Amino acid sequence: MFTYIPKQVCAKEMILEINEDIIENIKITGGCPGSSVGMARLIVGMDIHEALKRLKGVPCGSRDTSCPDQLSLALEAYLDKE
């Protein structure tokens, strides 16, 4: 299990479970519940590198970051830790 604290978004915490580069579970606290659950459902079972490509750089309104972008940073932090 890996915990990431996102910055500049509504989500407060992202908890990742990854096994051999496959995303097994994601729990996001705070933020929009529908977006968090939807985002998690879309990438569970996906290779971490593919998820990174899809999520990185997604903005939210006028912000340079978003919950999907912060999730990509969480995935990068996980890979850096490995």
pTM of the predicted structure, to 2 decimals:
0.92
- Contact present, 7 and 76 (Cβ < 8 Å): no
Q: Which of 11, 12, 14, 9 is CA-nearest to residue 1? A: 14
CA distance 27 to 13: 8
Q: Which residues pair with 40 in a beta bridge?
A: none
Residue 31 pLDDT grade (very low, low, confident, very high; cuts 50, 70, 90): confident
Question: Under DSSP, is residue 14 helix (H, G, I), strand (E, B) or coil?
Answer: strand
Diameter over CA atoms, the chain: 36
User: What domains are defined for the chain?
Assistant: 2-81 (3.90.1010)
Mean residue pLDDT across the chain = 94
pLDDT digits (tens, 9 = 90+) for 64-74: 999 999 999 99
Check whether 23 has a pLDDT greater than 80. yes
Helices (H), 1-82: 33-43, 48-55, 67-81
